[in-house]
Amino acid sequence: MATRDDSLFLRALSGETLAKPPIWLMRQAGRFLPEYREVRARAGGFLDLCYNPDFAAEVTLQPIRRFGFDAAILFSDILVIPHALGQKLWFATGEGPRLEPVADAKRLGEIHEEIDQDVLAPVYETVRRVKAALPAQTGFIGFCGAPWTVATYMVAGRGTPDQGPAKEFFARDPALFGEMIDRLVIGSAAYLNAQIEAGVDVVQIFDSWAGSLGESDFERWCIAPTRRIVDAVRARHPGVKIIGFPRGAGRLIPAYIAGTGVDAVGLETEIDRSFVREQIQSLVPVQGHLDPHVLRAGGPELEREVEAIRAAFGAGPFVFNLGHGILPDTPIAHVERLVAAVRA
Ligand code: CP3
């Protein structure tokens, strides 16, 4: 019978170089799957899906059943942390997340100091159910958003092209912005620790907007808060691997690794491959970085890119993934071809 030692994903994250890299895809539980859309329609709203353990466990397992990926990622969202801090959150159909913006002392005073773990209890129940159902060799990933990325949504009340509102907030009042970041650090660490206690093997910290920060702001608002989360998780769970994904950080990634202490990093599509080999993969295992558009397009270019990525990173510890989340209209046949090519 297979055991956790057979997990290629955990072996790669522990620094082993494997002949065939393990593979999973960011946003693998999502709209490109008809079986996800079916459950999503039954659940009603997106948050009803996140907070219903039956539905959330089902959609977490769907991509594992269909593609046999080497890791499952918990179905939830990074914005459940502001929600558990008492910020109003809703998902407008076809428009993405909306929150009531928090951009001054009065509004910050209206949200909680600490997360309400009762709001998140269904997420931990989802973890327990998935863990019980998952094959032993399949890794199980929990996650949170990094404080900077989550703060960009909290301040603007929505996704923004340039993260301008959050940048202007920290430029105007760094101490007050720092208070918001402190709450996110403490809440996110408690959230990750509870996911680990419920059964995830690995956690990933998504900093989708890390690349929009200049060098000194990157140190202050990306590296330093992430380090505090890493320290708080290590203090309770020293054996659990932590993957950082500072998307768009490029040349600042070696400083991110040294400053945060993460065990592995996710790579955006745009990063320079020889830089990765020389300055990043020599430090920690890497995960990434196929362009989601190349996957959507399919054809011979997909096969060529898979080969190029395996040739670039296959000589060191490596987990195959995308450089960002899978696009909703990606054909299932292209994902099947990808998995076959990575395992060929
Ligand atoms: O499969 C998985 O990866 C697990 C679940 C997961 C979701 N969101 C589900 C989701 C994960 C890991 C996330 C992370 C997340 N959420 C990030 C960081 C990664 C990234 O993509 O940059 C961010 C910034 C968010 C916030 C968020 N949630 C946005 C901006 C949106 C709308 C855009 C979109 O893709 O729809 C969401 C909604 C969301 N989160 C969906 C899913 C499956 C789509 C909701 C739907 O079914 O309508």
* Residue pLDDT, tens place only, 66-112: 999 999 999 999 999 999 999 999 998 878 999 999 999 999 999 99
Q: Using CA atoms, how far apart are residues 104 and 66, in angstroms rounded to an integer? A: 46
Domains, the chain: 8-342 (3.20.20.210)
Nearest CA to ligand 1 atom 11: 77
CA–CA distance, 262 with 73 (Å, rounded to integer): 18
Out of 31, 37, 220, 273, the active site residue is 31
Distance CA 144, CA 189 (A): 9
pLDDT beneath 50: ranges in the chain: none
State the Cα–Cα distance between residues 286 and 277, nearest whole angstrom.
Answer: 9
Phi/psi of residue 318, each to 5°? -150, 140
27 catalytically annotated: yes
Res 6: pLDDT: 84
The active-site residue, picked from 153, 228, 247, 256, is 153
Ligand 1 pocket, residue 26 CB under 6 Å: yes
DSSP string, 229-243: HHHHHHHH-TT-EEE
β-strand 264-266 against 96-99: which pairing, if any?
Answer: unpaired
| First-residue to last-residue Cα distance in the chain | 24
Residue nearest to atom 45 of ligand 1 (CA): 46
In this structure, the dihedral spanned by the alpha carbons of residues 104, 107, 112 and 116, taken in order and rounded to 10 degrees, is: -110
Residue 93's pLDDT is 80
> Ligand 1 pocket check: which of 40, 47, 77 to mutate, most ligand atoms within 8 Å of Cβ?
77
Rounded CA-CA distance 169/43 in Å is 36
Residue minimizing CA distance to atom 2 of ligand 1: 27
Q: How many CB atoms lie within 10 A of CB 105?
A: 12
